[in-house]
Each structure stands twice: as structure tokens, then as C-alpha cells.
Amino acid sequence: MAHFLRNTPARLLLAAGLLLAVAPVGSAQRAAGPDRPADFLDPAFHKQRRELLRQAMPAGSVAVLFAAPVRNRANDVDFRYHQSPDLFYLTGYDEPEAVLVLFKEAQTVGGQAGVTEALFVQPRDPQREQWTGRRLGAAGAREQLKLQYTADNKEFAGAGINWTGFNTVLFTDLPADVRDDSTDPADLFSLVATFRQQAGVPADFNPKQAELYRTMQRYGLINAPNIRGYLENLTKQIPALAQDTYVQAYLKATTDAERQKALAARPASRFDNAALNDALDVLRQAKTPEELQHLRKAIRISTVGQQEVMKAVRPDMGEMEIQGLHEYVYRKYGAEFEGYPSIVGAGANGCVLHYIANDKPQVKNDLLLMDCGAEYHGYTADVTRTVPPSGKFSPAQRQIYELVLAAQEAGFAACKPGAEFRDPHKAAEKVIADGLLKLGLIQKPEEVRRYFPHGTSHYLGLDVHDRGTYGPLAAGQVITVEPGIYIPEGSPCDPKWWNIGVRIEDDILITDKGWENLSAEAPRTVADIEKLMAKKSVLENFRLPALK
């Protein structure tokens, strides 16, 4: 899935060797009801993650993480619930209306002394469970997820947490645009309100401003020209920043000494919504062996989907039908979700980076871009292949395709421990720039972004654009390598190139010695794609009667 790279260096909070000190754990049943999959991550995995996060917290601090909101689809119908990846990573809990609290030093919570972790969850309710499914409840969460302290969410307000006694209150962005269920005094809306009130979070606390201050402190000296330009643009977009004394003092500084003095005057606050993000970036970017098991399965499912669709696709098929074939394969193998809305775009639609309408009635022989990924137990693949529905590339399609393929090979070669995160992008971009110059599509190298406007890599894991520091590559990280060329109709070039969109994307594990292509099972070369497309698919006989 095309990604726009951050323009900032690494964000580091944890010691370099911290993640290597933990032994791998296995899988175990973790479910609210019977007859569910038996290969969820073991509670010991989530316990390890919580302990590593606590190690990264400063003395005298508390960290708060909320469940994801329930999202309404229409009237009394909600979208299928998907947990906050951070909360899932730390607990394995996959129900709404919950809050996790971690303490650097042991506290007394609900009358229980020595508590370092507390999870408040939605209570058991037989009447509601009959309609919407079984719940773990506090006892189930304690027994199955193995948290030290659990309680019903209605007990959060009276748990006796001494919020004002902490030097620092850490939290990620608080859930916004949350519905208030007036019949539930402990829904997510109420949990957030209780936290803000009891912790004393100022009504005018601006998380974007706090993150901006942190960015200024981190990069205001080492990358002053970019930070200055960034702030100047922001002050034009956000008038309030023009009155922000901290920002203005930095902008008025003309030397490093003056900038250092301005940065040192950052307004003090107990509330920090950036440090927790930094710590989670470090933790989640390095995948453990048990996480890699789930990632490998999600990716393998996705590559099988690509293979079967390549064999089954025909020019008279529609984009939506092709999307359905991918997602049928996912469900057949037990993948609960897609990791992101499937992108299936033919011709001009393939030139739209995040095209998700997928409603072209017939793909005909327009080049077909399929960016699809299965999500298995929370972990998502991200695999893109571009194919000719007729089974044969035209000469123009083949030229652009093979240029993108050469760029991807260059990106692969740059994937090695210690390389900078942008090295695969730089390598791929150079190949594409040189190739477009030779084909006459651009006149100078810097015009390459007209046809290759996105970054080549992003992290992959619980999110399709997963958390990470964007620092040097290291063993255990999984990234994408996904160069592309997109030539919309009307582009300043020979019309024979118009509406050709090509992206080739693979999921790459950084290893001690280099890299491993986890999605290599899906063909990439012109010869291999055309050979596979000539074969019969198990999906070909799936024909439904015509509707009258």
C-alpha cells in the first residue's frame, strides 16, 4: 500500500538491546467463547510487551491506553469492531469500552496493593451477549489474559488511582468523535471523561501542540532549516500558532545558540502524549518470532490470493468481482479482516494510489493493479501485483512494468541491517528516474516524483503502516518495498503511456545477514506472470446464475 515517508530521523527511547532480552513464547487459546481459533498469541507475549513498556516509562509516571471506539455504519448498525492495535499488542483484549493503566511504580488500585497494571473492561451482560456475542468480563480477562488486576469498567471512576501524585501522565491520542451512550455510565466516552477529570488534563490541552513541541525539541537543532520551514507553513495553516510564544521564539532565533535558548524555554507540563508513542514505535517495529508466525501466515494467504486471481481474471470481469475473489481466499484460510480496503484498479483507476471504489464493471485489457492484504489475528500483509487481464503485457505496459521491477530489485538490494530506512527508496527512485529519462517521459531526474509520488517502504505488522522509528534497518523488522509508476491520462508525455499504473509490492523481513522476501510466492516477473495466467484456477468454475 503506497506510503508517504516521514521526513524525520529515528525516534529512540529504549536501550538498543532491550528487545533481544526476551525469550519467545508460544500460542494458546484466548477467546471469550468456545470453538474459536486456538492459535492466538499467548498471554505471556502480551505480558512481556507490558513489562518492556513499563521499563521505558520515566520514574513517577503512569501510562493510559484506551480501546478503539465502536464506529457506526448506518442507523443502528455498527462496523465490525477492530481493537486499537496498541491495546491489543499489550493485552490481547479485543472488546470495546476498555482502558489499560500501567504504573511505573506499584500502586494501590481498588483496594489491592502492589498493582503495576490494571485493565478495566466491559462487564458480563447475558441480555446483551445474546444479541452481540460473548464477553470476557473482568474475571475472564484476569483468567485468560493473565493481567494482574482487572475490573469492570464501571469501577474505573472509583478505583482510587491517585492521578495527581504522578510526575508524568503518559497517553496516546485520546479517542475523539466518540458516541455517548446515555444508558451506559462507563462507555468509552465516559471513561475518557473520567480520566480527563481525575487526572486534571486541562480543557485546552492540545495534543497536536504537545507533539509539535516535542518535534521542535528533538529536531530543532539538528535539522533547523526543515523545522523552520515546517513551522512557517503551519503558522499559515493554523492561525493560533502565530500567537504561540514558544513557536514564535524559535522562529525569531537566527543562530544555534539562540535556537537552543528558545527550545529550553518549553512550557512545562505533566501531560505527555508523545513519549508513549515513541516507546511503542520502538517496541512494535521489531517483530518477535511468534509475531512473525502470524505475519507469515497473513502474507502467505495474500500471495495465494494473488496467484489464484491471476489464473482466474478475465477482461470481462469487474473490479469488484476481482476484489471478492481475493477476499474469498482470505476467508477460506481463516483471515478475519483485510488489513486495509482492497485496491483493485484497472487503467486510469490504477493511477490513483489509494483507489478503493473498485466499481469498474469490466477491466477489459487495461493494466490491473491489485494491492490487497489479508489480516490474520491482527497482523496484516500488504502485497501488490499488476497484471494484464488478457494474460499478455502490451509492449508499452511491459516497458513500464520491467522498469518498476528493476527498481524493486534495487530496493531489495538496499535492505540490510544498518542501512538507513530511506535507502531502499533512494535506490528504487534512482532506477525509475534513469529509466523515465531514457523513455523520454521526463526531462530531468527531479521530475521523477510526477510519476513516482510516494515512498518505497513502510513498516508492517498490526497496522498496514505500522509503528516504527524510521531509523536504521535492523533484524526483525518487516517493511514493504513497493516502487510504482503512475501515468494518468493527460500527462505531458506520449499518449501511448497514458493510464498505465504499475506497483509491485513485497513484504521484506530484515535478517541478520540481509533480507527475506516473505511474499515471493506471488510471481513478479513478466514471464512468470504470463505463465501463471495461462493456467486454470480453482475459482474458474465458480459461476452464478444470471440475474433477471
- SS (HEC) of 289-343: HHHHHHHHHHHHHHHHHHHHHHHHCCCCCCHHHHHHHHHHHHHHCCCCEECCCCE
SS3 455: strand
Residue 255 has pLDDT above 50, yes or no: yes
The per-residue pLDDT for 27 is 44
Give the mean model confidence (pLDDT) for residues 239-248. 87
> At CA 301, angle to CA 298 and CA 307, rounded to 5?
140
Beta-carbon contacts of 223 under 8 Å, excluding residues fewer than 6 positions away, are 8, 9
Give the mean model confidence (pLDDT) for residues 491-508. 98
Q: Residues 25-41: pLDDT tens digits?
A: 444 445 556 778 889 99
Q: Residues 263-276: pLDDT tens digits?
A: 999 888 899 988 89
Is the torsion defined by CA of 217, 219, 221, 227 positive or negative? negative
438 or 14, higher pLDDT: 438
Q: Residues 277-331: pLDDT tens digits?
A: 999 999 999 999 999 999 999 999 999 999 999 999 999 999 999 999 999 999 9
Query: Residue 526 burial (CB < 10 Å; 0-12/13-18/19+)?
Result: middle
Give the mean model confidence (pLDDT) for residues 124-153. 95
The per-residue pLDDT for 305 is 97
The per-residue pLDDT for 18 is 35
What percent of the chain lies above the pLDDT cut of 90?
81
Residue 538 has pLDDT above 90, yes or no: no
Q: Between 3.30.530.20, 3.90.230.10, 3.40.50.1370, 3.40.50.1580, what CATH number should domain 286-540 receive?
A: 3.90.230.10
The per-residue pLDDT for 7 is 36
Residue 199 · residue 92 · CB < 8 Å: no
The per-residue pLDDT for 543 is 80
What are the extents of the domains in the chain?
Answer: 43-199, 207-271, 286-540
465 or 212, higher pLDDT: 465
Residue 143 has pLDDT above 50, yes or no: yes
Residue 24 has pLDDT above 60, yes or no: no
Going by their DSSP bridges, the two strands 478-481 and 506-510 should be labelled as antiparallel
Report residue 149's pLDDT band, with 50, 70 and 90 as the boundaries: very high
Q: Residues 358-370: pLDDT tens digits?
A: 999 999 999 999 9
Q: Residues 458-494: pLDDT tens digits?
A: 999 999 999 999 999 999 999 999 999 999 999 999 9
Give the mean model confidence (pLDDT) for residues 195-202. 95
Lowest-confidence region among 266-270, 399-403, 506-510: 266-270
Is the torsion defined by CA of 196, 201, 207, 211 positive or negative? negative
Report residue 177's pLDDT band, with 50, 70 and 90 as the boundaries: confident
The per-residue pLDDT for 196 is 96
Residue 12 has pLDDT above 80, yes or no: no
What percent of the chain lies above the pLDDT cut of 70?
94
**Domain covering 43-199 in this structure, CATH number:** 3.40.350.10
Lowest-confidence region among 16-25, 76-85, 176-185: 16-25
Distance CA 294, CA 304 (A): 16
Query: Residue 70 burial (CB < 10 Å; 0-12/13-18/19+)?
Result: middle
The per-residue pLDDT for 5 is 45
Residue 184 has pLDDT above 50, yes or no: yes
Residue 480 · residue 3 · CB < 8 Å: yes
Residue 19 has pLDDT above 50, yes or no: no
